[in-house]
A and B are shown apart, each in its own frame.
Chain A
Amino acid sequence: MTGERLAVEVTKASMVFNAGRPNQVDALSDIDLLIEEGDFISLIGPSGCGKSTLLRLVANLLTPTSGDVRVNGKPASQARLDQDYGMAFQQSGLFDWRSVRKNIELPLELKGWNKQRRAERADEMLALVQLSEFGDHRPWELSGGMQQRVAIARALAAHPPLLLMDEPFGALDEMTREHMQAELLRICAAAETTVVFVTHSIPEAVYLSNRVVVMSPRPGRITDIVAVDLGAARDEDTREDAIFYKKITEVREALRGAEFGETARGLDDR
């Protein structure tokens, strides 16, 4: 269900840390990436390939050394000011001193919403992530998976068109993780959100995404983009489908190719 408009446009973006010093790191080199509205994109690659850095460029938490990043048709910095995206991290980053409900309301508070409007939206989000009974609990009273659901609810509370996620399920056990993946698809379909998802896990990327962006390190660059599209009606059976395994193999080979420096193939594809 890809739309016409572009949610994210990354053009010739490079990121160099410690430029000119002995410990210079070329984190990203010459990245081009177009993400359409409604896309679910995974960024995958070994440590140091710059996938988190790329996510932070889109979020405008980092500014590229060169190149251009546009979100929702405007410069990334403006998109951040407008809160055009929500963000979720590996650590849920919930505030211990706030109830679950107050955590979800945080971005709305910062937008200056009044109390009643915030409460209504929090109710809606709690229902969406199926935690309605837990609104008045403290985050640390919840399990890891529930905390991550609260973090997703917080990220989506202001109804941003774009959701940026940095290994959000990385700290969860395998069973919870698979459950959360299904939940995320359901939530994002309900909220019609475009997602950029950073992960280490090949099955996770394949299950969730309609496109998997394969990256390689030193310097960080995109080596391949694997189209997946397992269809809207993914369920637990999908994980046992032949096509699922076929796509996993495809991504794995792309990763292996990237690792051995066979980058030409991936670059030629585009």
Chain B
Amino acid sequence: MIRRALRRSALFIAALGLVALGWEAWKAVGPEAGGEVFGWRVIPKTNDRVMPHTWEMFAEFLEPEVRDTPLVWQAVLGYTWFTFRLAVVGLIAGAAIGVGLAVLMARFRIVERGLLPYVIASQTVPLIALAPQVATIAGTWGLPKWTWVSLLGAFLAFFPIAVATLRGLSSAPAASVELMDSYAASWWTTLVKLRFPSAIPSIVPGLKLAATASVIGVIVAEISTGLSGGIGKAALTYSQKATSEPAQVYTAVIGAAVLGLVLFGCIAVIEMSVMRNRPTEAAL
């Protein structure tokens, strides 16, 4: 197990190195002013403002954020931690909503038919457009803004969980369902003793998708509601300083990426503990 984790980490670092190498290679040979393909402006400019050197990005972590303040890495770490907590709240809320909806849909076919289209439609609502309105409502209800930012994370997170759980709940083998029937077990007992445990291998991959979805939701909501303190707002602020400090915005990008990986890793750890006693491990 540990050896596999080490090998995976090594592979990850190697892949990261390759990306950095590709970046630098393109910067070295690509056209300074960008370029066009069939009239489309698709080739990025390679000047230092658009594509700073990778080492400049990492060096930026050790600069002060603005004059006489903590260093950038400390600031980014703070923002990331802030957003991480919001994303975790969003993920937990999303998991509760998703599992709850799936149980309802599994229990009542009529609910499934009535609700599923709305569940699917909910995912095509443009979150950026929605967020400011939601924040306004939050204001009138006297709730702190962060709760609504988390809720928008939950809004994206609940969907993969609901779909995965619904599939999992109906995947219990027919013979096992008959067995529970032969014990005259109630629907609820069958859910707790059979359907839910047999849904776990489906729910876990759903949770992984939901973890990243929650991070995206929270970051987008931070930006569009203007909630400061998180990595979303920081990315926006840094990108506005792109002229003077072009590498700084990439520190926020890296922070957001690490955030997604850490949350994903948390789910992987949970997976290891709940899947420990199962015959097969999920592929991802």
Using a CB–CB cutoff of 8 Å, the interface residues on chain A facing chain B are 59, 61, 80-81, 83, 85-87, 89-91, 93, 95-97, 106-107, 109-110, 138, 140, 164
| Residues from chain A with Cβ under 8 Å of B193 in the complex | 95, 106, 109-110
* Distance in angstroms between the alpha carbons of A106 and B189 in the assembled complex: 11
- B185 in the interface, Cβ–Cβ < 8 Å? yes
Which among B24-32, B96-104, B172-180, B218-226 touches the partner chain? B172-180
* Distance in angstroms between the alpha carbons of A96 and B184 in the assembled complex: 21
Q: Is the CB of B178 within 8 A of A89?
A: yes
How many whole Å from A143's CB to the nearest CB in chain B?
14
| Residues from chain A with Cβ under 8 Å of B178 in the complex | 61, 87, 89
- B200 in the interface, Cβ–Cβ < 8 Å? yes
Q: A61-B178, A87-B179, A106-B193 are in contact. List 10 more A-B contacts (CB 8 A).
A: A80-B182, A81-B184, A89-B178, A93-B179, A96-B198, A107-B183, A109-B193, A110-B185, A110-B189, A140-B279
Interface centre among B184, B193, B198 (most CB of A within 10 A): B184
How many whole Å from A46's CB to the nearest CB in chain B?
22
* Distance in angstroms between the alpha carbons of A41 and B129 in the assembled complex: 70
Q: Is the CB of A80 within 8 A of B184?
A: yes
Q: Is the CB of A83 within 8 A of B184?
A: yes
* Residue of B173, B179, B184, B279 touching A138 (CB-CB under 8 A): B279
Q: Is the CB of A96 within 8 A of B279?
A: yes
How many whole Å from A86's CB to the nearest CB in chain B?
8
Q: Is the CB of A96 within 8 A of B183?
A: no
* Residue of B173, B181, B194 touching A61 (CB-CB under 8 A): B181
Interface hits, B182-226 → A, CB 8 Å: 182-185, 189, 193-194, 197-198, 200
Given contacts A93-B175, A140-B279, contact A110 B183 (CB under 8 A): yes
Q: Is the CB of B277 within 8 A of A97?
A: yes
| Residues from chain A with Cβ under 8 Å of B173 in the complex | 91, 93
- B278 in the interface, Cβ–Cβ < 8 Å? yes
* Distance in angstroms between the alpha carbons of A85 and B182 in the assembled complex: 8
Interface centre among A81, A97, A106 (most CB of B within 10 A): A97
Q: Is the CB of B176 within 8 A of A87?
A: no
Q: Is the CB of A95 within 8 A of B176?
A: yes
Chain B residue at minimum C-beta to C-beta distance from A107 = B183
A–B Cβ pairs within 8 angstroms, 12 of them: A61-B178, A80-B182, A83-B184, A87-B179, A89-B179, A93-B176, A95-B197, A97-B198, A109-B193, A110-B183, A138-B277, A140-B279
How many whole Å from A248's CB to the nearest CB in chain B?
29
Chain A residue at minimum C-beta to C-beta distance from B190 = A110
Q: Which 10 A-B pairs have the closest CB atoms?
A: A140-B279, A93-B175, A89-B175, A87-B182, A91-B175, A81-B184, A97-B197, A93-B176, A110-B183, A80-B184
Interface hits, B69-91 → A, CB 8 Å: none
How many whole Å from A101's CB to the nearest CB in chain B?
13
Chain A residue at minimum C-beta to C-beta distance from B185 = A110
Q: Is the CB of B278 within 8 A of A97?
A: yes
| Residues from chain A with Cβ under 8 Å of B198 in the complex | 95-97
Chain A residue at minimum C-beta to C-beta distance from B178 = A61
* Distance in angstroms between the alpha carbons of A86 and B182 in the assembled complex: 8
